[in-house]
Amino acid sequence: MQKELKKASFCIDIGTSSLKAALISECGFVFSSTVVRFSPIQIENPYEISNCWINSFFQAGKNLQISNYKIQGISVSGNGPTLTAVNENSTFTILWNKEFSNSNIHEISELSKNSKSIFLPRLLYLKKLFPKIYEDAKAILSGPEFFINFLTNTQVTILPEKRFLSAYWTKEDLAEFNIDYKLLPDFVPIGFNSGFLRKEILAKFQIDSTEKIPVFCGGPDFVTALIGTNTLSVGKICDRSGSSEGINLCSNKPIFAEGFRNLPSVISDLYNVSFLLKDTGTRFTQWKNTSKWKENSYEECIIDLLKNKENSGYKLIFEIAKEVKIAFEKIILEKQKNLSIPNETENQIICTGGQAKNPHWMQFKSDVTNLELCVTNCPDAELMGNAIISNVGLQNYTSIQSAAQKMVTVTTKYFPKNSIL
């Protein structure tokens, strides 16, 4: 008798330096996860970046042994505003963090200052600096959309929520700068079913060719991370840390305060109010890579630094933690001033990202900030967000909020033990 396979969603997030993937059940159990680091040579070559993504995807599927599971759905998220120009024979990708190397193009620099769109400056950059690539392009896609096209042969542009339109483009915007709107696929919402996984990919993973595996649109990574931490009701706070660190508050209205940014939530009528620390993770990584701990794991490095408070590394992590404390205090203050919510949720903050996987750093951070910090069943919240989107698409849940409520659970709590400040 054939063994019944465990049912899972195959969740994928395209990062800047790696591709993360996981197999997650309908109830939010993470069967397994993997991180595939990109080839430094490929990821620096704009003609090879998309191939790097594809190779990493197949490696992730191999690592997860997905043929041993009943894959019910796939969802893809990624960073942005990355753009990939696609034609019959090749692709050309401009990553989201690629700085404009020709700032004397007045039109681009002025648009960057005056437009709310994060995509239009990059579209102009592509058109002005790489005219042949622009002219030959059959479509221009962001990272997740390129990947969805690879998986299903369907071209879309994912609009997280209708209020995000100004961050993307309108036909009037495109006409003003003479950008061909036909190169940009129609907008679809998060969770859109883009079609079934191609048979060639099923064969590559040794999955029966008769399987019909739907591929759902996950969208921008920061949106899926907010879904994956259940930061979807008024008063919820999450701390998303990596190279930078964003403290995010779910609000029922914009909050206008110095240093704060207001964006729509994926939930209509709600907002994501955020405070960004631009380089907390980058500064520590740069220090580590020039220290005697450069070959050690981050966890090993933090353990050693906490034993020696005179070390420059300890002084740096203490400085970073103090910056985080100030950011937490600012967002909690604005929450208290602007929102009416129960006090018992006031100091609970959900943490996600690479830092959330390091228990020693998390405890130190809790001690410095004097706050309760929580980690969920999937610290890579983008992947859990994709699992939620997949399961809503599969009609296992009626809404993103109801799915997140069920699938996202706090598994670890850090309480201040030794108040440092």
Q: Report whether pLDDT(111) > 90.
A: no
| pLDDT number for residue 313 | 94
Residue 274 banded pLDDT, cuts 50, 70, 90: very high
Model confidence band, residue 2 (pLDDT cutoffs 50, 70, 90): low
Work out whether strand 214-220 and strand 69-78 pair parallel, antiparallel, or are unpaired.
Answer: parallel
Is 6-222 a domain of CATH 3.40.50.2300? Answer: no
Average pLDDT in the chain: 92
Extract the runs of DSSP E, i.e. beta strands, from 15-144.
Answer: 18-24, 30-37, 69-78, 83-86, 91-94, 139-141
Q: Tens digit of pLDDT for each residue in 176-234?
A: 889 999 999 999 999 999 999 999 999 999 998 899 999 999 989 999 999 999 999 99
Burial class from Cβ neighbours inside 10 Å (0-12, 13-18, 19+) for residue 115 reads: middle
Token pair, residue 411, equals: 């598994």
Paired sense of beta strands 83-86 and 139-141, if any: antiparallel
For residue 248, which of 164, 399, 353 has the smallest C-alpha distance?
353
Residues 6 or more apart whose CB falls under 8 angstroms from that of 162 comprise: 268
pLDDT greater than 60 at residue 66: yes
Tokens coding 222:
């920061």
**Better-predicted residue by pLDDT, 322 or 282:** 322
The single residue listed with the structure tokens 């008769």 is 210
| pLDDT tens per residue across span 120-131 | 989 999 998 999
pLDDT band at 98 (very low <50, low <70, confident <90, very high): confident
Residues 228-257: pLDDT tens digits?
Answer: 999 999 999 999 998 889 999 999 999 999
Residue 71 has pLDDT above 90, yes or no: yes
pLDDT at residue 334, rounded to an integer: 93
Q: What angle do CA 348, 244, 222 make, to 5 degrees?
A: 70
Domain spans in the chain, listed from the N-terminal domain onward = 6-222, 230-414
Assess whether the previous peptide bond of 81 is cis (omega < 30° from 0). Answer: yes
Q: Distance (Å, rounded) from C-alpha 377 to C-alpha 19?
A: 19
Q: Provide the 10 A C-beta neighbour count for residue 385.
A: 35
Q: pLDDT-based confidence at 117, cuts 50/70/90?
A: confident
Identical fold, 6-222 and 230-414: yes
Q: Quote the CA–CA distance of 404 and 395 in Å, as a whole number.
A: 14
User: How many angstroms from the chain centroid is the CA of residue 129?
Assistant: 28
Query: Between 266 and 340, where is the model more confident?
Result: 266
Q: How many separate helices (H) and strands (E) can be counted in the chain?
A: 15, 18
Question: Fold for domain 230-414?
Answer: Nucleotidyltransferase; domain 5 (3.30.420)
The predicted model gives 377-382 an average pLDDT of 96
- Angle at 36 (CA atoms; ends 30, 42), nearest 5 degrees: 155
Return d(Cα 54, Cα 44) in angstroms, integer.
Answer: 15
